Amino acid sequence: MKKSFLILFLFIFGTILLQAENPVIIKGKWERSGKEVNLYKVISGRLEPVSTYNLDEERDFGFIFTPKYEGFYAIGNGYPGAKNNKFLFYFEPGDQLNIEVNDSTYRLVGENTAENKMMTEWYYWSFPMYSMAVYFDWMVNATATYVDFFPLLEEAIANPFVIRPTVNQHFNELFKRFTEVDFLSTAMHFLHTPRTAHPHVDEYPDFYKNIDISSLAHDDFLMRYPSGSSLLISLIYHNERVNGQTENPIPLTDVLAMIKDNSLKGEYLLSKATNIKTYLGYKELIDPYEAFLVTDDQKNRAADIMEKLAKVETESGNVVNFTHKDVDGNDVSLSDFKGKVVLVDVWATWCGPCIAQIPHLKTLEKKYEGKDVVFMGVSVDEQKDYEKWKEFLKKEELHGVQLFAGGFKSDIAKFYNINAIPRFMLFDKTGNLVSKDAPRPSDAELSILIDNELKK
């Protein structure tokens, strides 16, 4: 029943999509563990699920999708970062893949492209090494150590895989690099998986001692290889081990000099950033090299790391600096006003309770005129309402420091976990946080706090 449904599903939607988008059609049977099969794409040198097919007792599965790029994809299940239970293929619009996956490997059935036939030949050629390196928990490989693996490695080096070119020149160029990198990835994976015995560096074959990171990282190919990012990190660690530098790691500037491609430099920086514990530590690491975060994916991941660290800081009562534009388009930061007490008003033109505080805020500004108090308004109006914000400032004659943050996804909102307004925050003359949720100007308690800070 499920199989006939799958065929009908693929036929109906395949007909629609073939007319509209020239999709890839994948049909298969999954006869190994798991309740689902995933289709993965490669982004920034790692696998990310595109679609999931839930299996039933017949174990048939299928996917129809329009590829966003011509290149490598994977089919499998489990943690995306794990190499086991992942099978790599090459797709361009209009391709078909027909496979059967058993408990130890897979085979092509029916109609398949020349590119994926070559991918499969490579899979079978490298399988003796791959299975020992990746499926180390199998009974057959559970006791395998470097004594077993190194001879396989050296035999493969002595008898290299023979590439037969296809009519797809783009594939031919990528596939040559793919085999080189995939071979290296398998060899490195073996060294970094649990074994009953591990080799000393002196016991490594020459292959491991002659790895040239600069030649591998001279372009962005590792960003297009399914585990390129983790491979890069393991190679840098390996380089330190081979050169006896594990106690004194290679300085960051030297590592970045070895990596020629900027996007790969960004990946290395992000790998370091995931181990940072503080916002200030993150800023010290990333700020000098922010230009290396070149892809949208990298920028988004960096922003997520920074936001989490900033929230930890502010929840602990610490200060995280923020910078937004004023009415003239100039960058203005909280840190610009050290030496003065700063009252920050987070508001928006659409917020009734915010507007209701304006008369009280003006009274407060007049009260502290000429004293070391800065009144800073930070609007979280959306970007589309930028002009509306500027007109509102004129109409209401709002003075002081007026900044435009641009919505609740802005730095100040994320860093200080602001999801409702108005929000008032008070900072002392040294820039420290007095209150992350201060009384409103309509409350006399706010003046008490300000007066207390001015006396210090």
Per-residue pLDDT tens for 253-265?
999 999 999 999 9
Helix, strand, or coil here: 332? strand
Q: Given 2.60.60, 3.40.50, 2.60.120, 2.60.40, which CATH number is that of 1-112?
A: 2.60.40
Q: At what angle do helices 169-191 and 114-134 cross, to 10 degrees?
A: 10
Question: What was the pLDDT predicted at 198?
Answer: 87
Residue 279 pLDDT > 60, yes or no?
A: yes
Question: What was the pLDDT predicted at 313?
Answer: 75
Residue 402 pLDDT > 70, yes or no?
A: yes
413 in Cβ contact with 308 (< 8 Å): no
Q: What percent of the chain has pLDDT over 70?
A: 93
Residue 415 pLDDT > 50, yes or no?
A: yes
pLDDT in tens, 199-249: 999 999 999 999 999 999 999 999 999 999 999 999 999 998 898 877 677
Question: What was the pLDDT predicted at 14?
Answer: 46
Residue 85 pLDDT > 70, yes or no?
A: yes
pLDDT in tens, 163-208: 999 999 999 999 999 999 999 999 999 998 878 888 999 999 999 9
pLDDT in tens, 36-79: 999 999 999 999 999 999 999 999 999 999 999 999 999 999 99
Question: What was the pLDDT predicted at 196?
Answer: 83
Residue 383 class from Cβ within 10 Å (0-12 exposed, 13-18 middle, 19+ buried)? exposed
Q: Which residue has the higher pLDDT, 10 or 442?
A: 442
* pTM for the whole structure: 0.73
Question: What was the pLDDT predicted at 59?
Answer: 95
| φ, ψ for residue 266, nearest 5 deg | -60, -40
Question: What was the pLDDT predicted at 144?
Answer: 83
Question: What was the pLDDT predicted at 8?
Answer: 46
Residue 4 pLDDT > 50, yes or no?
A: no
376 in Cβ contact with 345 (< 8 Å): yes
Question: What was the pLDDT predicted at 55?
Answer: 93
Q: Given 3.40.30.10, 3.30.70.270, 3.40.50.2300, 3.30.365.10, which CATH number is that of 323-454?
A: 3.40.30.10
Residue 355 class from Cβ within 10 Å (0-12 exposed, 13-18 middle, 19+ buried)? middle
Confidence of residue 1 (pLDDT cuts 50, 70, 90): very low
What are the domain boundaries of the chain? Answer: 1-112, 323-454
Question: What was the pLDDT predicted at 142?
Answer: 64
Mean pLDDT in the chain?
90
32 in Cβ contact with 24 (< 8 Å): no
pLDDT in tens, 102-134: 988 999 999 999 999 999 999 999 999 999 998
Side chain identity, residue 238: H
pLDDT in tens, 369-380: 999 999 999 999
Residue 393 pLDDT > 90, yes or no?
A: yes
Question: What was the pLDDT predicted at 136?
Answer: 67
**Prior bond of 422 cis (ω within 30°):** yes
Confidence of residue 19 (pLDDT cuts 50, 70, 90): very low
Closest CA to 436 of 428, 447, 427: 427
Q: Taking residues 346-356, what's their average pLDDT?
A: 93
Question: What was the pLDDT predicted at 278?
Answer: 73
Q: For the chain, first and last CA: distance in Å?
A: 79
Q: Which residue has the higher pLDDT, 281 or 35?
A: 35
245 in Cβ contact with 203 (< 8 Å): no
